Amino acid sequence: MSDPLYKKELLRLAADATGAGRLSEPHGTGSAHNPTCGDKVTVDLIIDNERIAGIAHDTRACVLTQASAAIVGGEAVGLSRAEVLALHESVTSWLAGGDPPSAPFDVYTVFEGVTGHRNRHRCVLLPIEAVLDAFSASKPSEERR
């Protein structure tokens, strides 16, 4: 494929599918769906001290969403809800022409070909939105004890 949307590194991320699967006893499960194209991501989280201690995702989506889910699956452990929200804002801003996200999420620059395709931005953001939804669905730590 020579389409600039689908760089080799992006295809490799999607194929590696880091974090793919489901957790047997998550503290929170969330999902995000793009009705325009049918992409759907479900994320399970284990949360400890209000931070992600474990993550898994079930991604039924295009290569762009799969690659983004693999990034989140590989790098989100240790993040708080506020940090995931900041990541969402950073990636959204970068896709719209701003500065790229900082490390370890600078890997999102692999989506450089997407910046000019506004209708594909949601594909990249969907896994992050599913993580935020999982945080929202999680029980407070005192209820998990």
For residue 140, say if its preceding peptide bond is cis, omega within 30 degrees of 0.
no
**Cα 44 to Cα 38: distance, rounded to the nearest angstrom:** 20
pLDDT in tens, 79-129: 999 999 999 999 999 999 999 999 999 999 999 999 988 999 999 999 999
* pLDDT of 7: 81
52's CB contacts (< 8 A; 6+ apart) are: 45, 46, 76, 77, 78, 79, 80, 84, 131
The domain defined by 8-137 folds into Sufe protein. Chain: A (3.90.1010)
In this predicted structure, the answer to whether residue 17 has a pLDDT above a threshold of 90 is yes
Domain map (residue ranges) of the chain? 8-137
pLDDT in tens, 29-73: 999 999 998 999 999 999 999 999 999 999 999 999 999 999 999
Burial class, 18, CB count within 10 angstroms (exposed 0-12 / middle 13-18 / buried 19+): middle
* pLDDT of 6: 74
In this predicted structure, the answer to whether residue 141 has a pLDDT above a threshold of 70 is no
Please give the structure tokens belonging to residue 39: 């992409």
In this predicted structure, the answer to whether residue 13 has a pLDDT above a threshold of 90 is yes
**Cα 75 to Cα 69: distance, rounded to the nearest angstrom:** 10
Cα 8 off chain centre by: 19
In this predicted structure, the answer to whether residue 1 has a pLDDT above a threshold of 50 is no
* pLDDT of 108: 95
State the pLDDT confidence band at 139, using cuts at 50, 70 and 90: confident
Residue with tokens 């490390």: 103
